[in-house]
Structure 1
Amino acid sequence: MKNEVKSTCCYCGVGCGVVIETEDGRITGVRGDPDHPANRGRLCTKGATLHLTADSTYRLRYPEKRAVRGGARQRLAWDAALDEAASRFAETIRTHGPDSVAFYISGQLMTEDYYVFNKLAKGLIGTNNVDTNSRLCMSSAVAGYKQTLGADAPPCSYEDIDQAKVILIAGANPAIAHPIIFRRIEDAKAANPELKIIVVDPRRSESAELADLHLAIQPGSDIALFNGLLHVLIAEGMVDLDYVEAHTTGFAALKEIVRNYSPAVVADLCGVPAADIVKAARWFGASKASLSMYCQGLNQSAHGTHNNAGIIHLHLATGQIGKPGAGPFSLTGQPNAMGGREVGGLANLLSAHRDLGNPEHRAEIAKLWGVPFVPAKPGKSAVDLFKSLKTGEIKAVWIACTNPAQSLPNQAAVREALQAAEYVVLQEAYGNTDTADYADLLLPASAWGEKQGTVTNSERRITRVRSAVLPPGEARHDWEIVVDFARRLGAKLEHAAADRLFPYADAEAIFNEHRETTRGRDLDITGLSYSQLEAQGPQQWPYPADATAGRTRLYEDGRFPTADGKARFVAIEHLPTAEATSLEFPISLVSGRMRDQWHGMSRTGTVPRLFNLEDEPLLALHPCDMRHRGLATGDLARVTNARGAMVVRIAERVGLKKGRAWMPMHWGNQFMNTAGSNAVTSDAIDPYSMQPELKHAAVQITRLDLPYPLAIVRRCESQAAALELIQQARAFLNKFPYATVGLYGRQTPLVVFRAATATAIDDAELLELDRLFGMDGEDGAILYNDASRKIAKKAIARDGRLLGVRLAGEALAQVWLKQAMAEDELDASLIRFALAPTDKPPVSIAPRNIVCKCADVSDVQIHAELAKGSSLPQLQDKLKCGTFCGSCLPDIKRMAAEHAPQQAAAA
């Protein structure tokens, strides 16, 4: 039986609506929800492939435990698993106190999940040791909004993009990280060619390609830039003094500071031309509607809070806030980081934007929850939480829906902390994450398509999420696991009110209680309910009981949620990055996102075609830095600093300045034999937000001479078979100085294994690898061996179809073999070329371009359908190209126009 259910995408904070298609209890497809105001039917490549992530190969299905850390996992019944967890936590709390336990949760949980985790820790146990991976991405945005505007409330809406006259994008790359927002920016630019776009980024990012002005500042010099822009605004009389006088405080003190930030001084600090600084300030100040958009480039800094304050100052000084097309707009990193912030999902917060340090706020929550008190002692934020595991101050930790053994900085220290912990519980949908290796108890949770509750996106819009299918095996919803555990823990601690604190029969009951905590607060949602969200669609907060609609933008009346109703300028000064480059570590390593991958790839890493843009870890360098180190594209290098090291392949990329390197943050031990960029990132934190400086690390990069390459490309008959093979291949990663394993492919999934060593791999090792990849037989084998050069190649073909290739000692052909095998383009007459010593394909293999990356449709496929006489609507209906994000439509229409005369002649 076919069915459709409306939900949301589970990736970035844009909050796109999706329609999940199911048949006989299985997810079979997904498309953008045309009625959802966040995306109006558009989806990016990740959202468009969500149905392909429903493969259950890596899913946790049943509770499991280990008798010995690192040992085999054994299946448990739920009652036994939760009783064990409750007993261990109760014993730890009785012996060492409430602060000896901690919870580390995730911006991908539902708001209802978040709420019960916070109530469990702060209400039942009596500890504020509950933090979230949002600490790694959004806590500086929270602190920046609070320091300046008085509350963690993004004042803008997506519709402001359409009305802006100037868009300042700083420390963000929405073309990659928030693609649907970027499509909207592109649309705004097309509709209004006079729209000025300024991009501030140390590298010339994909978003910078659309910019009218790119400011390639030095890493960490954001405050200097913003102070410099404010200097120009003041000097040229573009400050709205009436607004500043009526609606702000602290301007005079900041004005004195920015007197020292002339364009010449800032040009020296930031490494950009003084004339460009003046131009950017003039554009911003003269505009009637200036919108700023920012994300991790500002947040993931040891002075991230003041980075945020600096950009907000520009809006306050010019009165560019609370107006259509204007305001400081923090782009949320995760799908429900906003929802977590709403319920106090950080160690220093309480529900409904209350502060833990405020005694009145603690008393209000204690009264609402019916507990004697909420503890005053601040909880441990993410970095300190794991440091406390290592020292033993925290004995037991409960981790939910996140992977700190890959995502936190300074990975060696994090993994030592997890190993030192007395008890680790992992509540997770996937059993193959890096953190799973350290868990004593694993609890299977529901995942996208199975979950239910609410989420809040970047523009404060709450969406109702519904389950489309049941979770696999005995997996349960996150809130159900927490509530069941809380009741058991309460009984063991003889907490008489445990059942009363957690009476919930469903997620709606949790939402209703959360809703009541917001009454009278800046994010009041007492006018919302599940039924209303289902009937009227997603709504923005605030939405109090007497409202008929949510508020599109905030602070239109110039009043702010501060004691005097005025926004605040903060006295901020330029600070360098937490660690400076040096002779020993001369390169600034900057990390970021790839378009087609998400976080540690536990979900996106199961879809072959999401690797087609980049299927192995690559580190980008400036050509001068490459020449200085004797490196060329494709060479291997060792990246090191005092915290750790990684071995990675080098790629030359446009847009990088000398002395800077760039690498995606997604790669880790699931696909390579080191922890990736977080092996070397810094755990220095911002003093206000406690957010670590993940964006920058000083490193040394040296050429690694591993002259003996190995590449294996193996066709698999299904996605599940490919994932099983990858899981087995991971056991071989640490046998080589350099090794990666990954997916590739379109209709046919491939597993690609690459390695390199200093000396030739012996026959026994090759045989072991051949057995793993099902290439140890002689049936259909084609061999090439050159003992003098230590080259050993093998291909396996059956029925005229190439199944696998192993290239040892010389592996150039793997460059083109991936496409040829994925497209089934090597017929029997061409299979002999599989062992050719060249990175160029045979002439008979035509090059092709993937036009629609969302639906994975090539120009060859489109031309073939158009040649049959298909119209554009018929083409879209059959191939689905141009029906997701829409960025490929101009190319498709151009191709259709080329075929139009032929179609007319045929008619």
Structure 2
Amino acid sequence: MNMATPTYQANTSTEQLRQSTCPYCGVGCGVDISCNVNGRVVSLDKICGTPEHPANHGRLCVKGTNLLETNSLGGRLLHPTIAGEKVEWDTATRLIADKITQTVAQYGADAVAFYVSGQLLTEDYYIANKLMKGFIGSANIDTNSRLCMSSAVAAYKRAFGEDVVPCQYTDLESTELLVLTGSNTAWAHPVLFQRIQRAKLRNPNMKVVVLDPRKTETCTLADLHLPLKPGTDVAVFNGLLNFAHTNGSIDANRVHTFADGLDDAVAAANDMDIDSVSQYSDVNANDLLTFYRWFCDAERVITFYSMGINQSAFGVDKANAIINCHLALEQIGREGAGPFSITGQPNAMGGREVGGLANMLSAHRDIENPKHRDSVKSFWNAPHICEHQGLKAVDLFDAMASGKVKFVWIMGTNPVVSMPHREQVENALRRCETVVVSDIVNKNDTLDFAHIALPATGWSEKDGMVTNSERRMSRQRGILPPPKEARHDWQIMCDVAKKMGFEDAFDYSHPYQIFDEFARLTAYENDDEKLLNLAALVGMTQQEYDNFSPVQWPLERRSDGSVQTIRPFTSLTFPTDNGKAKCIAVTPQLPQQVTTASFPFVLNSGRSRDHWHTMTRTGKAAKLHAHMPHASVSMHPMDAQALQLSSKAYVSLSSEVSGETPCIFPVSIDEGIRRGELFIPIHWSGVWGSHSKLAKLYAPATDAISGQPELKHAAVNVVPTSFKSFGQVCIREQDAQRLGDSWGDYWAKTQTAHGVSWSVASHLDISQWLSHLLTRLPKDWVIYQHKNTSGVCLVGVHNDTVCAFVSLGQVCPSQSPDWLLPMGGIDSLLNSALTNDTLSNLLHGRVDDAFTKGAQVCSCFNVREKTISEAIEAGCQTVDELGERLKCGTNCGSCKPRLSEMLNAFASLEIPSVETA
């Protein structure tokens, strides 16, 4: 699809406001985009939160605030390729159609698979499932949402009969007790965290309990933190159920009128008294008692849970243990009460609605239900319908590795980085006969295995619907035309489907037609069986679709024609055979990846504040790197001391499945982590570091019901790692890509404002390493050197412009606390004119004072730790006062939890009292 040639008209430039939805987490924030329109040329000038959007009311986190910084065409995939060679679209889609047809004819439909993404829009997701499950005839379509929320889905279905999140964001503001478990909300969902902060200020009686093995920024809001042993969540919530039963807090007769299974659930929990739970979960018994009393006494309770619950070999049981407590204590179906799972991706919920997981059909229909299969087949007029569940993500890649799956189409996701057991995933993709990858980037860990690569559109180009974690549908709007030859995912799939002979079923010209078809399917033969019924939205015109305002399902249309949202389960009637919910008897189970003498540490993983998934978007914004330039492994001070490690020293991590090459990370000392446990953020991949392949360490242990991998609990070994030499390489942007990444035996890359920076280390001594590096630099550069007792500095110059800076030394970063700090100052000199002062400053490592103020805390205004500490010492006592003086926390607010931590730390210092005579 070629873009039309823009036309330019004099004096026609106008400013316009366009509205869309943020493409990051499941909060689903509305964004206002100020555009400059000149003829047919549109530029995006400014972004802010949509004040009237009910998900965020104008708030944006640091990632959303910097969306436009990630929207350049640099690093984009812009042309279809086959075996790395540019081809026409017709050639690429014809080959894909032929490969699918041939594979089905030779091996059967189950030899074909799609692996898709919560980044897709609802219309894309719908077409993928329609094509795969109704026309190819296999359910082998799974999604990266399998990795984040499939256990929550399975638990809701077990308890309620349907995948229905029973809460909404306003409940977070009206509850009396908010339980945050398995979620560092302050970093993973900052906008919701700010809503919670505000709610707590408005209602001082509101209590917040955080259940988390780590003391995270979320704990700044906690009235009580329970640092439970990883994997013991079922014991804690079974203990709550047992306490409520023992102390007469459960009205069993009342519960039996709307829920089955209470007696069995209570019986399964009857050995979980407070002392037993305390011992099992390693939580103080008095703190448990406080938590249990608060939960039983509160009029309204929300339990807000995320990956720490779901990413487990027993994640479904964990979620059902939570739901059991809410059913038993009637904390559901009303304002401020309920079990609330929060999703990690912008359209994970939309994917669930259209059947994006391998074990479900579109519109919340079940594959194993013949009535549902016949209904969907009839509605689609499909030649086939899948007869059984497909392969879930881990099983799908295992089937690829064994040769059972011959063709895979990966859309908008990076499984080599995100899936457990990276070695097996890479082996699977090597063995698969045809690997198709649709993406917006021209480089990531998965594209290395693609036989066919297809350029897809991204945010600000894509046009369709997304559903956030509170079941609210919003529009992501196409503002810019697709660049070069990029196409929308639904268009690509429809083109392939037509070439396979399914022209009539995939003949769409606009996404509103696809959404209307999906809405009609949710109503088709529904008979009030499913709460997902979008009959009230059927028949929208293109204009109504384009002007669509956010709305939550379940929906009903009033007599005046308006559409109204209905709160689920207010009548305590559920979409099950008998209308009752189900309490599920669950018992505590140990994680599958247990520690041993050879692998004595528990490894946890999760999100960092300013990055997203595998950084294909946020990695382009220098501002988003400043808070955390590289991944590190967090470790308790006593564990570090036992291994004779200091902060920033390098360690190698290995596990039973990691292969011969270890993961290498610098150490971060963290008093908030439990002894014997580690934490590493998930975002850095092989693109960003030579040894940053975290997924290697996780075994493919999965939940038997949901298939969700255990990505919060690996057993690993930690070994101090020695290098002879260390260094920093900083190269301007236009030279960085052609010179590559391999500047040492170890490297970790960071995007900077004017170029790219690498932290590097080598097993060579400085002189050998220097000789090697000099051979890599362009021959037409003038190289200046300055040697001193600790090492050497190089400056590369071309046409009197600074192109590169290299610093090598024998000092390990652990022995030089400011090792990384000067790079901001060095970076600011890249691409500048060479002067004697500039050259002298570079060769001697002199930088502006602004870059020696400690780690960055506020990304929006580049406010650093030392500056904030000085302001606190000078008398600032609140986050607001820091904002007034330094501006930190006054834009996106993502740094506010850290500011609170620093204020609390200063306040807790022991100040000697002064006795007066």
Both structures adopt the same fold (TM-score exceeding 0.5): yes
- Correspondence for 1:516: 520
Kept after mapping to 2: 8 A contact 1:848/1:860: yes
Q: Distance in 2 between matches of 1:767 and 1:63?
A: 40
Cα RMSD (Å): 3.0
Pairing of 1:229-378 with structure 2 (within 5 A): 229-378=240-389
- 1:627 to partner: Cα distance: 1.4
Return closer, same or farther for 1:97/1:890 CA change in 2, 3 Å cut-off.
closer
Return closer, same or farther for 1:762/1:178 CA change in 2, 3 Å cut-off.
same
- Correspondence for 1:792: 792
How big is each residue's C-alpha offset from its partner over 1:601-631, in whole Å with a ceiling of 9 and x where there is no partner?
Answer: 0111111111101111200111111111121
Q: Distance in 2 between matches of 1:844 and 1:224?
A: 49
- Correspondence for 1:631: 645
Structure 1 residue 527 and structure 2 residue 530: aligned? no
How big is each residue's C-alpha offset from its partner over 1:726-755, in whole Å with a ceiling of 9 and x where there is no partner?
Answer: 57423x16x51x2212223xxx43421122
How big is each residue's C-alpha offset from its partner over 1:412-455, in whole Å with a ceiling of 9 and x where there is no partner?
Answer: 01001001110100011111011110000001000011000100
- Correspondence for 2:71: 54
- 1:389 to partner: Cα distance: 0.6
Return closer, same or farther for 1:366/1:150 CA change in 2, 3 Å cut-off.
same
- 1:803 to partner: Cα distance: 5.8
What percent of counterpart residues are identical? 35
Q: Distance in 2 between matches of 1:396 and 1:91?
A: 10
Kept after mapping to 2: 8 A contact 1:669/1:676: yes
Kept after mapping to 2: 8 A contact 1:208/1:214: yes
How big is each residue's C-alpha offset from its partner over 1:244-285, in whole Å with a ceiling of 9 and x where there is no partner?
Answer: 121111011111121100111111110101111111111111
How big is each residue's C-alpha offset from its partner over 1:571-609, in whole Å with a ceiling of 9 and x where there is no partner?
Answer: 100000112111111000000000111111011111111
- 1:469 to partner: Cα distance: 0.3
Return closer, same or farther for 1:161/1:283 CA change in 2, 3 Å cut-off.
same
Residue type at the aligned position of 2:16: N
Pairing of 1:599-678 with structure 2 (within 5 A): 599-644=613-658, 645-678=662-695
Kept after mapping to 2: 8 A contact 1:816/1:841: no
Structure 1 residue 4 and structure 2 residue 7: aligned? no
Q: Which runs of 5+ in 1 are unaligned?
A: 67-72, 491-497, 864-871, 893-907
Q: Distance in 2 between matches of 1:570 and 1:8?
A: 37
Q: Distance in 2 between matches of 1:815 and 1:886?
A: 23
Kept after mapping to 2: 8 A contact 1:597/1:605: yes
Pairing of 1:190-205 with structure 2 (within 5 A): 190-205=201-216
Q: Distance in 2 between matches of 1:423 and 1:371?
A: 25
How big is each residue's C-alpha offset from its partner over 1:378-402, in whole Å with a ceiling of 9 and x where there is no partner?
Answer: 2111101111111110001000000
- Correspondence for 1:815: 820
Structure 1 residue 506 and structure 2 residue 510: aligned? yes
Return closer, same or farther for 1:727/1:229 CA change in 2, 3 Å cut-off.
farther
Residue type at the aligned position of 1:760: D
Q: Distance in 1 between matches of 2:58 and 2:700?
A: 39
Return closer, same or farther for 1:845/1:349 CA change in 2, 3 Å cut-off.
closer
Return closer, same or farther for 1:656/1:239 CA change in 2, 3 Å cut-off.
same
- Correspondence for 1:588: 602
How big is each residue's C-alpha offset from its partner over 1:283-303, in whole Å with a ceiling of 9 and x where there is no partner?
Answer: 111111101110000000000
Aligned residue for 1:695, secondary structure, equals coil
- 1:762 to partner: Cα distance: 5.1
Q: Distance in 2 between matches of 1:401 and 1:321?
A: 36
Aligned residue for 1:239, secondary structure, equals coil
- Correspondence for 1:441: 452
Q: Distance in 1 between matches of 2:366 and 2:161?
A: 11
Residue type at the aligned position of 2:549: G
Aligned residue for 2:244, secondary structure, equals helix
Kept after mapping to 2: 8 A contact 1:854/1:885: no
Kept after mapping to 2: 8 A contact 1:22/1:469: no
Pairing of 1:19-168 with structure 2 (within 5 A): 19-23=32-36, 24-66=41-83, 73-168=84-179
Q: Distance in 1 between matches of 2:631 and 2:895?
A: 26
Kept after mapping to 1: 8 A contact 2:186/2:894: no
Q: Distance in 2 between matches of 1:801 and 1:857?
A: 29
Residue type at the aligned position of 1:486: A
**TM, length-normalised to structure 2:** 0.88
Residue type at the aligned position of 1:686: D
Q: Which runs of 5+ in 2 are unaligned?
A: 1-12, 871-879, 901-917
Q: Distance in 1 between matches of 2:192 and 2:448?
A: 37
Q: Distance in 2 between matches of 1:205 and 1:743?
A: 26
Kept after mapping to 2: 8 A contact 1:162/1:184: yes
Return closer, same or farther for 1:532/1:215 CA change in 2, 3 Å cut-off.
farther
**TM, length-normalised to structure 1:** 0.89
- 1:849 to partner: Cα distance: 8.3
Pairing of 1:771-786 with structure 2 (within 5 A): 777-778=781-782, 781-784=784-787
Pairing of 1:354-753 with structure 2 (within 5 A): 354-490=365-501, 498-519=502-523, 520=526, 521-528=530-537, 529=540, 531-532=543-544, 534-535=546-547, 537-546=549-558, 548-551=562-565, 553-644=567-658, 645-714=662-731, 716=732, 721=733, 725-726=736-737, 728-730=739-741, 732=742, 736=745, 738-744=746-752, 748-753=753-758
Return closer, same or farther for 1:886/1:663 CA change in 2, 3 Å cut-off.
closer
- 1:162 to partner: Cα distance: 1.1
Aligned residue for 2:740, secondary structure, equals helix
Return closer, same or farther for 1:270/1:513 CA change in 2, 3 Å cut-off.
same
Residue type at the aligned position of 1:110: L
Return closer, same or farther for 1:487/1:107 CA change in 2, 3 Å cut-off.
same
How big is each residue's C-alpha offset from its partner over 1:847-882, in whole Å with a ceiling of 9 and x where there is no partner?
Answer: 38867534657899999xxxxxxxx9xx99x99983
Aligned residue for 1:349, secondary structure, equals coil
Residue type at the aligned position of 1:102: A
How big is each residue's C-alpha offset from its partner over 1:15-66, in whole Å with a ceiling of 9 and x where there is no partner?
Answer: 0011223333333332111121101111101101111111112111110110
Aligned residue for 1:518, secondary structure, equals helix
- 1:761 to partner: Cα distance: 5.0
Kept after mapping to 2: 8 A contact 1:729/1:741: no
Kept after mapping to 2: 8 A contact 1:726/1:741: no
Kept after mapping to 2: 8 A contact 1:729/1:772: no
